[in-house]
A and B are shown apart, each in its own frame.
Chain A
Amino acid sequence: MSTRWYPIYQRGNPQLRVFLPNFWMKLVHPPPKQLPNTVHFHCSMEMTKYDIRNYLEKIYNVPVIDVRTKIILGKFRKDLGKGYVVKDDDIKYAYVTLPKDTKFVFPDIFEKSKDADEEHLKSLEEAKKTFKNYIHRNKSRPDVPSWFSI
């Protein structure tokens, strides 16, 4: 009777309750052409369509009209350095349809992020400066390793 162990459901038994569900779901970016009331998820492999519906309705309070799922096989690829074959994890996709009038737009999270180039330049300047310092400090002792003095 542990937290993760439930009795087999047989007809007539009381409904099984999940008290501490361990399922995860992540909302992922939809492809460009997508109806506004459809949301794409990745979810735990063990989740059924009913689980997904209950999860969203009970925990997130999101009304769900329809759920479709599919499992995509992880890719087989060769490891870049070693050359052995690696298999990526399989992913369970869930396509959830919300009511007709609702509209979900995936937010643009990095929309107004700080200018990345500027930051890179800044760190580059910093690195240049420290390197200059290091060269200057070791002018008279060229063979001394960098860890020797502070």
Chain B
Amino acid sequence: MNFVFRNGVLKYVAANYFRSQCTATKLNAPSNRIVHTSSTSYDLMEFFDDKKNWNETNIKVGRAWKLDELRIKSNTDLHKLWYVLLKERNMLYTMEHECKEKVRLFPNPERIDKVQESMKNIETVVRERNIAYYQLETGETGERPVEEVVNLFGLPEKYEKSEYMVPKFMNTKWVKPYLEHGLINSIAVKKFYRLYKEKLHNESRKARNRDYNHVQQLLKRFPDMDLEKLREQYPNVDIEKAMRTKKARGHYFPKY
């Protein structure tokens, strides 16, 4: 992250791009480019919609930013767009809250979804670039490392690693209860794990029996069925065995 926006600082610089209803305006297309040369009012009034939209019941906006459109933007553009969307989202949240307070209908609530989708797409693109950069420089993705651990219930879990102030072995507050209750040593965990495995086993056994019975019934009702298809659909069932059972024999004279 630090590398992608090496020159970025937390400062809102996109003020002269566009304001409300901007979700779909294109930055690069010169015809669509909206550049306000007058100074934008940084104000608490930015938390509210344009005055002309206050009493509207239907506010028309464009669509959300798509991934492909964002991929061709520079980092700076994305950074600016992020703050535009952030302000837009705050504005929409504020208006929605006010409408709720005053028991009014919030016009076009899908605007919030569009902004959120755009923001999600920006994050995806930034992440892609970050991964590409890290793979070039270090050969790793630079993503958060994930480790397979045994959790408190004795089950395998994917643990997303994070930084700690204290190393693991020194962290008595964590180690003691983990060793006492967490590992499979504990009787309670062992019992739980045994019952859990039994449950899983029962489920798979029931599924197997169900399939077997179902195949028998199918064979009874459709004796000339395509066996290859059947085998494909129920790979775990022994079809030859199912054909020989009593259940699979229909109410007709058997062909010997």
Contacts and interface: CB of A to CB of B under 8 A. Distances in A.
A109 B106 CA distance: 12
Given A2-B127, A3-B123, A26-B90, A62 B42 contact: yes
B46 interface: yes
B87 interface: yes
Given A18-B10, A19-B1, A61 B55 contact: no
Given A1-B134, A20-B122, A21-B10, A26 B47 contact: yes
A7 B12 CA distance: 23
A26 B94 CA distance: 5
A134 to B, nearest CB: 26
Contacts of B55: 109-110, 112-114
Interface string B190-227: 00000000000000000000000000000000000000
B86 A59 contact: yes
A28 B101 CA distance: 9
A47 interface: no
Contact of B165 (A1, A8, A107): A8
Contacts of B162: 5
A18 B5 CA distance: 10
Nearest to A39: B44
Nearest to B130: A1
Contacts of B95: 109
Contacts of A19: 1, 4-5, 8, 10, 79
Q: Which of A58, A60, A113 has the most CB of B within 10 A?
A: A60
Q: Which of B43, B48, B54, B127 has the most CB of A within 10 A?
A: B54
A100 interface: no
20 contacts: A2-B143, A3-B123, A5-B1, A17-B8, A17-B9, A19-B5, A19-B79, A20-B82, A22-B119, A24-B90, A25-B93, A26-B94, A26-B97, A27-B44, A27-B47, A27-B48, A62-B43, A104-B44, A109-B54, A109-B55
Can you list the 9 inter-chain pairs with the closest CB atoms, starting with the nearest?
A61-B42, A27-B47, A26-B93, A26-B94, A1-B142, A113-B55, A8-B163, A59-B12, A19-B5
Interface of A: 1-5, 7-8, 17-22, 24-29, 39, 42, 54, 58-62, 104, 107, 109-110, 112-114
